[in-house]
Amino acid sequence: MTDTTAPASGSTADGTKRYDDTLAMNDIHAVLTSPSLTGAGGDALQAIAEILARTGRSPHPSRVITATVEDGPHGIPVACVESEGTVVTVGQDPSGPGIRIDVALRDADDEAALVIVVGDRVVHRACPASPWPVGHGDGGQS
């Protein structure tokens, strides 16, 4: 990997070197055309994953996220964040002074990809969707 990865160029405000998208694309091109990695698919994928990690970018496509604030049904402002069918609403609990957060999911895949964190505590962790419907095999989820 170090044979095909160009050193970072340019610098940030604090004087450290920056690894930008152009350098990453050049490095990925070098990996894909490297004779030493021809036929070594796993090694090439590992090298590309390391390049992506150096850029600090996620290998997953970005979701379009919109946010609005409007009056809810009880006349209390409600914040609404929507991302491709998953909707999160945040507002005052109509039955008291607390905050109520509701999450409406588009489908089981969105639920499987959902991560909810309160402070530093993970309340719901993303998990792969099961190929089995609930009730199959060991009796479903518990």
pLDDT of residue 114: 85
- Burial class (CB within 10 angstroms; exposed 0-12, middle 13-18, buried 19+) of 79: middle
pTM of the model: 0.50
Q: What is the pLDDT of residue 14?
A: 52
Q: How far apart are CA 48 and CA 29, in angstroms?
A: 9
Q: Is residue 37 packed enough to be buried (19+ CB in 10 Å), middle (13-18) or exposed (0-12)?
A: buried
Q: Mean pLDDT by 10-residue block, N- to C-terminus, for the chain (142 residues)?
A: 44 60 88 74 80 79 88 87 90 89 88 87 75 44 40
Distance CA 37, CA 31 (A): 7
The whole-number pLDDT of residue 41 equals 67
Per-residue confidence (pLDDT) for residue 61, from 0 to 100: 75
